[in-house]
Structure 1
Amino acid sequence: MRTAARRAWRRLEPLHGMIYFVPEATQRYAELGLTGRSGYFASRSAPFGRASADVVIATFYNFCPDLVRHSLATAWDVTTPAQILQARQEAAGEALRRGGLHELPDLDATLTLARRAAEAACDHPQGRPLFAAHASLPWPDGDPLLELWHAQTLLREFRGDGHVATLLTEGISGIEALVLHAASGDVPTVFLKISRAWPEEDWAAAEERLRTRGLLDGDTLTPEGKALRQHIEDRTDTLAMPAYEVLGEDGCERLAELARPFGRRVVDAGLLNLS
Structure 2
Amino acid sequence: MTDVQLARQAWRRLEPVHAMIYFVPEAAERYAALGLDERAGYFASRSAAFGTASPELVIATFYNFCPGLVRASLPAAWEKTTPAEVLAARYEAAGAALRRGGVHELPALAETAALARRAAERACEHPQGRPLFAAHAALPWPDDPLLELWHAQTLLREFRGDGHVAALLAEGIGPLEALVLHSATGAVPAVFLKVSRAWPAQEWLAAEESLRERGLLAGDELTREGRALNRRIEERTDELAAPAYAALTGDEPARLAELARAFGRRVVDAGLLNIGGRPSGAVQA
* Range into which the TM-score falls when normalised by the shorter chain: over 0.9
In 1, are the aligned partners of 2:54 and 2:75 still within 8 Å (CA)? no
- Structure 2: distance between partners of 1:249 and 1:197: 45
Letter in 2 for 1:59: T
Report the equivalent of 2:96: 94
- 1:103-160: CA deviations, max 9, x gaps? 111111101110000000000000000000000000002x100000000000000000
- Structure 2: distance between partners of 1:36 and 1:257: 34
Report the equivalent of 1:162: 163
Pairwise CA distance, 1:274: 2.0
Report the equivalent of 1:67: 69
- Structure 1: distance between partners of 2:249 and 2:63: 31
Is the counterpart of residue 12 in structure 1 residue 32 in structure 2?
A: no
In 2, are the aligned partners of 1:101 and 1:262 still within 8 Å (CA)? yes
Pairwise CA distance, 1:74: 1.2
Is the counterpart of residue 224 in structure 1 residue 232 in structure 2?
A: no
Secondary structure of 1:72's partner? coil
Report the equivalent of 2:24: 22
Q: Please state which structure has a larger fraction of its residues in helix.
A: 1
Report the equivalent of 2:78: 76
Pairwise CA distance, 1:249: 5.6
Report the equivalent of 1:113: 115
- Structure 1: distance between partners of 2:85 and 2:115: 30
Where structure 2 has 5 or more consecutive residues not aligned to the other structure, the ranges are 277-285
Report the equivalent of 1:248: 249
Report the equivalent of 1:51: 53
Pairwise CA distance, 1:36: 3.1
In 2, are the aligned partners of 1:111 and 1:147 still within 8 Å (CA)? yes
Q: CA RMSD in A?
A: 0.7
In 1, are the aligned partners of 2:116 and 2:256 still within 8 Å (CA)? yes
- Structure 2: distance between partners of 1:228 and 1:97: 40
Report the equivalent of 2:280: none
Report the equivalent of 1:172: 173
In 2, are the aligned partners of 1:12 and 1:259 still within 8 Å (CA)? yes
Pairs aligned (count): 274
Letter in 2 for 1:64: C
Report the equivalent of 2:283: none
Matches within 5 A, 1:202-241: 202-241=203-242
Pairwise CA distance, 1:203: 0.3
Measured at CA, do residues 163 and 104 of structure 1 come closer, stay the same or move farther in structure 2, by a change above 3 Å?
Answer: same
Pairwise CA distance, 1:231: 0.3
In 1, are the aligned partners of 2:34 and 2:81 still within 8 Å (CA)? yes
- Structure 1: distance between partners of 2:253 and 2:233: 21
In 2, are the aligned partners of 1:15 and 1:152 still within 8 Å (CA)? yes
Report the equivalent of 2:133: 131
Pairwise CA distance, 1:73: 4.2
Identity of aligned residues (%): 73
- Structure 1: distance between partners of 2:174 and 2:275: 25
Letter in 2 for 1:270: G
- Structure 2: distance between partners of 1:118 and 1:48: 18
- Structure 2: distance between partners of 1:104 and 1:243: 24
In 1, are the aligned partners of 2:53 and 2:75 still within 8 Å (CA)? no
Measured at CA, do residues 2 and 51 of structure 1 come closer, stay the same or move farther in structure 2, by a change above 3 Å?
Answer: same
Greater shift in the superposed pair: 183-192 or 127-136:
183-192
The runs of 4+ residues in structure 1 deviating greater than 2 Å are none
Letter in 2 for 1:106: A
In 1, are the aligned partners of 2:18 and 2:153 still within 8 Å (CA)? yes
Letter in 1 for 2:114: T
- Structure 1: distance between partners of 2:19 and 2:38: 18
- Structure 1: distance between partners of 2:19 and 2:132: 16
